[in-house]
Amino acid sequence: MAFSDLRAFIDSTARIGELKLIDGADWNLEIGCLTELMAEQEGPLLLFDSVPGYPKGFRIAANALATARRFALALGLPTDAPKLEILRAWRNKIRDLKPFAPVEVATGPVLENILEGDRIDLGIFPTPKWHELDGGRYIGTGDMVVVKDPDSGWINVGTYRSCIVGKDRLTLWIIEQKHGKQIARKYWHAGKPCPVAIVLGCEPATWMAAPSAAKAGVSEYEYAGALRSAPLEVIRAPYTGLPVPATSEIVVEGEMPPPEEESHSEGPFGEWPGYYTHSGEECVVRVKRILHRNDPILLGNPPLLPITERYGIPLFAARIWDHLEQSGVSDVQGVWCHCHTLMVVVSLKQRFAGQALQALTAVAGMMTGASMYRYYIAVDDDIDPVDLKQVIWAMCTRVDPAESVQVLKSWTSDLDPRLAPEKRERGDFTMGRMLIDACKPFHWRDKFAVANKFSADKREEIWEKWAPKLGLK
C-alpha cells in the first residue's frame, strides 16, 4: 500500500512503535547529534518540533528509513522478517516492477503557502547544522532535485546535497557525470539558467526513487510509481512548471545560472564514507518561489558513518545478488554489504573448485555509481553474511592469507579518503580491492574441522523447552 504523504508514513511508524517526538532540540548540532546517536542504536524515526527560534509545527523528520522494519513498512514488505528475508523480498519486488507514469492533478497541499518576492526566505525552516565541521546548514539531504531535459522533455530527478547560502540562494553539489548536471549543462551552453525544483520532504518510497540510477530518458517519477504500485500525483510548480509531488512538504523553485555567471563555495560536508570531503566552487540556485504545507516537515537524511544503515538494509546487495546470478554464479545463499558498500559478503553453497573466486571477481567488476569498494569476501552457506561476527570468525579460521587473498587494482570515488593527494591531483582515481576467499578450501572441505556449534534443530528444541521456564519468551 502506498502512503499518501510523509505524514501518513510517520503516523504508521508510531503504530509499529518506531516514532520518537523530540521537542526543543536546537538546529545547531543538537538535532544532528541526536540523529547520529539514535541511528547507531537502530532507533526510531525522530520527529523534531518546537526548535528554538522557529514556530511550533515547523518540523524535521530524521532517520526515516534507518531500520529494516521502517524500510519494509515504506515499501509494503513484511516488517517482522529477518533482515536477509527483507532483502529477498525487496529483490523480488524490484524484479517485477511496473513503471507508472505520474498523473497530473490540479492542486495539492504543497500549495497551501506560496512565498515569492520579498517573502522568500529559506531561513524560515529550522534547517540543522548536521555535523560539527559542516560548511553550512544543509537543507537538502533527503531531497529530490527535478530538472527537465530541454531537448526531449525528459524529467530527471536526483538527490544532491544542498546548502543554504542566502535568503534566496542554495548551492547544489552535482557530480559531473550525473544526469542532473548533464541536463543543466545543456541550458548553460545555450547561455540560459536551468529551471529547477527541489522537493524537501515527501513520502519515502517516492524519495527513494530519486537517487536510483534510472537510465537516461527514463524519469525517476515512473520508478517512484512502480515502487508505490500506484502512480505518483504531481502538480505543476507555479514558477518553473516542473512536476512535483502534490503532497510534498516543501518545494523550492528557482534557476541554476551558468557557473561562470554565479557560483558559491560549497562544503565541506560529512559524507557517506564517514569523513568530511569535497569543498569547492559549485553551482547555485536563485530561489524564485517557496511552496510549503502548513506545519511543514523537512526530510533530513544526513550522511552518517557507514556503521549505520540509511535504508535499514543495504539495497545494493540486491543488485549484486542479481548480477551474480546473471553472471552464471550458482548457489548464492545470501549477499550483504557492511560499511555501506565498502565490504561485500557473498554466502555460497560450494559446488566446485574456484566457485568462490568466480563470485568475487564477478562482483568486483560491477560498475555502479558509488565506485568506492574495498573488500569482497566469500563465505560458506553456514555463515550468515548479515552477521559480521560470523563473517570475521570465518575469515579468522578459514583463510590462509598466503593463499586465499588476492588484490586487484581498480577505480575509486573522489570521496575516498585513502586516495593520496598526489594521485588525486594527477587524476589517478585507482585503488586496490581485496578479494578474500573465506570458504573452506574446496578440495578438502570434507576434512575441515567441524564447527563447535549446536545444530539449528537442537538449538530450537532446547530453546523452546527452556525459554519459557527462564522467562525469556
* Interacting residues with ligand FMN (CB under 6 A): 156, 158-161, 173-175, 178-180, 211-213, 301, 369
In the complex, what is the shortest distance from the CB of residue 117 to ligand FMN, in angstroms, rounded to a whole number?
29
- Residues with Cβ within 8 Å of 165's Cβ and at least 6 positions away in sequence, in order, are 136, 171, 264, 284
Q: What is the 3-state secondary structure (H, E, C) of 353-409?
A: CCHHHHHHHHHHCCCCCCCCCCEEEEEECCCCCCCHHHHHHHHHHHCCCCCCEEEEE
In the complex, what is the shortest distance from the CB of residue 371 to ligand FMN, in angstroms, rounded to a whole number?
10
The answer to whether the beta carbons of residues 317 and 87 sit under 8 Å apart is yes
Number of DSSP helices (H) and strands (E) in the chain, helices first: 12, 24
Determine phi and psi for 343, rounding to 5 degrees.
-135, 120
3-state helix, strand, coil in the chain (%, to 5): 30, 25, 45
Q: Which is nearer to ligand FMN, 183 or 360 (CB)?
A: 183
In the complex, what is the shortest distance from the CB of residue 181 to ligand FMN, in angstroms, rounded to a whole number?
7
Q: Which is nearer to ligand FMN, 101 or 467 (CB)?
A: 101
Q: How far is CA 280 from CA 172, 354, 421, in A?
A: 11, 46, 16
Q: Which is nearer to ligand FMN, 181 or 288 (CB)?
A: 181
Helix (H) or strand (E) holding 282: strand 280-292
User: How many Å from the N-terminal Cα to the C-terminal Cα in the chain?
Assistant: 32
Q: Which is nearer to ligand FMN, 54 or 160 (CB)?
A: 160
In the complex, what is the shortest distance from the CB of residue 160 to ligand FMN, in angstroms, rounded to a whole number?
4
Q: Parallel, antiparallel, or unpaired for β 269-270 and 263-266?
A: unpaired
62 grid coordinates: 530524521
Q: How far is CA 443 from CA 293, 404, 440, in A?
A: 65, 14, 9
Q: Which is nearer to ligand FMN, 341 or 347 (CB)?
A: 341
Q: Which is nearer to ligand FMN, 63 or 159 (CB)?
A: 159
Q: What is the DSSP string of 24-59?
A: S--TBTHHHHHHHHHHHTT-PEEEEES-TTS-TT-E
In the complex, what is the shortest distance from the CB of residue 271 to ligand FMN, in angstroms, rounded to a whole number?
8
Shortest Cβ contact with ligand FMN: which residue?
Answer: 158
Q: Which is nearer to ligand FMN, 107 or 177 (CB)?
A: 177
In the complex, what is the shortest distance from the CB of residue 62 to ligand FMN, in angstroms, rounded to a whole number?
12
Instruction: Please tell me the distance from the alpha carbon of residue 210 to that of residue 228, in angstroms, as a whole number.
Output: 13
Q: Which is nearer to ligand FMN, 240 or 301 (CB)?
A: 301
Q: DSSP letter at 117?
A: G
In the complex, what is the shortest distance from the CB of residue 175 to ligand FMN, in angstroms, rounded to a whole number?
4
Q: Which is nearer to ligand FMN, 254 or 270 (CB)?
A: 270
User: Which of 207, 208, 184 minimizes the C-alpha distance to 196?
Assistant: 184
Instruction: Please tell me the distance from the alpha carbon of residue 132 to that of residue 301, in angstroms, as a whole number.
Output: 16
Q: Which is nearer to ligand FMN, 337 or 356 (CB)?
A: 337
Q: How far is CA 83 from CA 77, 78, 128, 337, in A?
A: 11, 10, 31, 12
In the complex, what is the shortest distance from the CB of residue 63 to ligand FMN, in angstroms, rounded to a whole number?
12
* Strand, coil or helix: 62: strand
Q: Grid coordinates 530518458 are at which residue?
A: 217
Q: Which is nearer to ligand FMN, 158 or 385 (CB)?
A: 158
Q: Which is nearer to ligand FMN, 94 or 175 (CB)?
A: 175
C-alpha 102, offset from chain centre: 22
In the complex, what is the shortest distance from the CB of residue 130 to ligand FMN, in angstroms, rounded to a whole number?
12
72 grid coordinates: 519494509
In the complex, what is the shortest distance from the CB of residue 424 to ligand FMN, in angstroms, rounded to a whole number?
18
In the complex, what is the shortest distance from the CB of residue 129 to ligand FMN, in angstroms, rounded to a whole number?
17
In the complex, what is the shortest distance from the CB of residue 174 to ligand FMN, in angstroms, rounded to a whole number?
5
